[in-house]
Amino acid sequence: MRIVPTSCRGCYRLPAQALLACLIGALVWFAAGERVAVAAGETATPPRAVAVPGFWDPRRRPERPDLSRIGTIRFLTDLDYPPFDYPGADGNPAGFNVELARLICDEIKVSCTIQARPFGTLIDALNDNRGDAVIASIAPTAETRRRADFSDPYYRTPARFVARVDSPIGDVLPERLEGMKIAVIAGTAHEAFLKAMFTEAELRPYPNAEAAREALRRKDVDLLFGDGIALAFWLNGSDSAGCCAFRGGPFLESRYFGEGVGIAVKRGNDLLRLSLNWALFQLWEKGSFTDLWLRYFPISPF
């Protein structure tokens, strides 16, 4: 996954207090911004609550910038990261990021264009003035921050455990997973996290996501641990055949899983960056972000 570190060389073993801090941090993050909504079309009693991520504290409202100075916003994205970015039926960009960009333009009341480019060329195109903003699930890192500025984050990529639906496993505290077999993609931040935090479990590294998921389906392992966004996409789709469900979490340790995903703008373009921050807050407060999230993630990664 391009928005989650794929390796963690040199990561050291963290003490138990670090895991506690991670869990407390997740609770604080949810208390500050998370919204719980009922999935669209849900009629069962009681309704199934879906956690929707939020980074916007209503007590810290961003000031409205001078939006009259914003003209057409030229958004750049790519087409190979569903459900966030992919080609629509007409070949044009579609997906969560694309719809969010349109909502932002409606909120700011400006016209916008959305052009797809190969992922590796997006920030170069931004800096060559071939676009004004990149909305393509790029995580702010030390490297990307040297090349672009970023809006406030609008989602994070939590790590999650998945078990078969008939599994008795409930809570996933380290002491309760002693001796259990956990599938994980080899060489990823998720494997490094398990090695540091779940030291008594038996890790089973696999070369790719499909191999790890197949191991869980075949009952070769008790649990699968990985990127919550990708796993939610799998659980929401037909490929999982309803075999499995999330257990515990989410895990949001930024050292392993990043600090969130924002919209990239050219360095120094504070007017556009602040305008995007203002629009994102408005969309969250009005519920438009929640509605969009539920359409793409009826089984939430959070």
Query: Cα separation of 48 and 120, whole Å?
Result: 39
Looking at residue 158, what DSSP letter applies?
-
What is the per-residue pLDDT for 66?
Answer: 93
Q: Per-domain residue ranges for the chain?
A: 16-33+159-251, 67-156+259-296
What are the phi and psi torsion angles at 76 (to 5°)? Answer: -115, 140
What is the per-residue pLDDT for 249?
Answer: 84
What is the per-residue pLDDT for 50?
Answer: 67
Q: What pTM was computed for the model?
A: 0.76
Q: Is 206 helix (H, G, I), strand (E, B) or coil?
A: strand
What is the per-residue pLDDT for 3?
Answer: 37
What are the phi and psi torsion angles at 50 (to 5°)? Answer: -120, 125
Is it true that 16-33+159-251 and 67-156+259-296 share their CATH fold? yes
Burial grade of 124 (CB within 10 A; 0-12, 13-18, 19 or more): exposed
Name the fold adopted by 16-33+159-251: D-Maltodextrin-Binding Protein; domain 2 (3.40.190)
- Residue spans of the chain under pLDDT 50: 1-33, 38-48
Angle (deg, nearest 10), helices 96-108 and 288-296? 170
Determine which helix (DSSP H) or strand (DSSP E) holds 246, and give its type and residue range: strand 244-251
pLDDT tens track for 88-135: 999 999 999 999 999 999 999 999 999 999 999 999 999 999 999 999
What is the per-residue pLDDT for 34?
Answer: 52
227: which strand partners?
159
Q: Is 5 helix (H, G, I), strand (E, B) or coil?
A: coil
What is the per-residue pLDDT for 131?
Answer: 97
The encoded tokens of residue 284 equal 């969250």
Query: Cα separation of 83 and 103, whole Å?
Result: 17
CATH code reported for the domain at 67-156+259-296: 3.40.190.10
Residues with Cβ within 8 Å of 218's Cβ and at least 6 positions away in sequence, in order, are none
- Whether the CB-CB separation of 205 and 225 falls below 8 Å is answered with no
